[in-house]
Amino acid sequence: MYPPDSQHPWQQLFWLMILAIPIASVSRTVVFEEIFREPRDWCLHKSKTCATFFQRKFFYLFTCEYCFSHYVTIFFLFLTRFKLLLDDWRGYVLAFFALIMVANSYLNLYSRLRVDITQAKEETKKIQKETGGDQETN
C-alpha cells in the first residue's frame, strides 16, 4: 500500500495520526525503557564527557525523548515515503514536523496517563491504610 497523495487529505490525516503511533512508541522505548538502559547510560555519560560540542550533542540526542523522535520520524518517512498536503519535497518537510508534533502529543498524553494512574494507586493505598484493611478494591 502506498501513502495517499495530496488529492486525498482525509487519508493523509488518517496516516498522520496512525504513523505517529510507532514513532512515539519507538522513541519512548529507546529513551525510557529498561531494555535500552546500558546504551542509554553510555550515551548519557558520553554526552557529558566528550571533548567537542558536536560530540556531546550527538550523544545527548539518544537520551532525550523529543530529540530522538526527530530521528525516528526521519526513518519512518524514508520507510513509508509519506508526504503531507504537497506531492513534492515540501510534503516531506510538512510531514516531518506534523509527525513530530503528533507523536510528541501522544507521548505527553501517555506520560500524563501514567502520572494519573500512579496517583490513583497511591490514593488507593492511602485509603486502605486508613481503613486498616488489605482488602482488594475493584
Give 56-113 pLDDT, tens digit per residue. Answer: 999 998 888 898 999 999 999 999 999 999 889 999 999 999 999 999 999 999 888 8
The pLDDT assigned to 137 comes to: 52
Side-chain-side CA neighbours of residue 115 (13 Å)? 6
* pLDDT bracket for residue 135 (50, 70, 90): low
| Structural domain that includes position 16 | 9-127
Question: How many angstroms separate the CA atoms of 96 and 107, rounded?
Answer: 16
Residue-wise pLDDT tens digits, 17-60 = 999 999 999 999 998 888 889 999 999 999 999 999 999 999 99
**Are 107 and 24 spatial neighbours (Cβ–Cβ below 8 Å)?**
yes
Does 2 fall in a domain?
Answer: no
In a domain, 55, yes or no: yes
What is the domain count for the chain?
1
Cell of 60: 545527548
Residue pair 24/32 in contact (Cβ under 8 Å)? The answer is: no
Q: Specify if 135 maps to a domain.
A: no
Nine-digit cell string for 50: 566528550
Predicted TM-score of the model (pTM): 0.76
Cα angle for residues 83, 17, 62 (degrees, 5° grid): 80
pLDDT value, residue 132: 75
111 within a domain of the structure (yes/no): yes
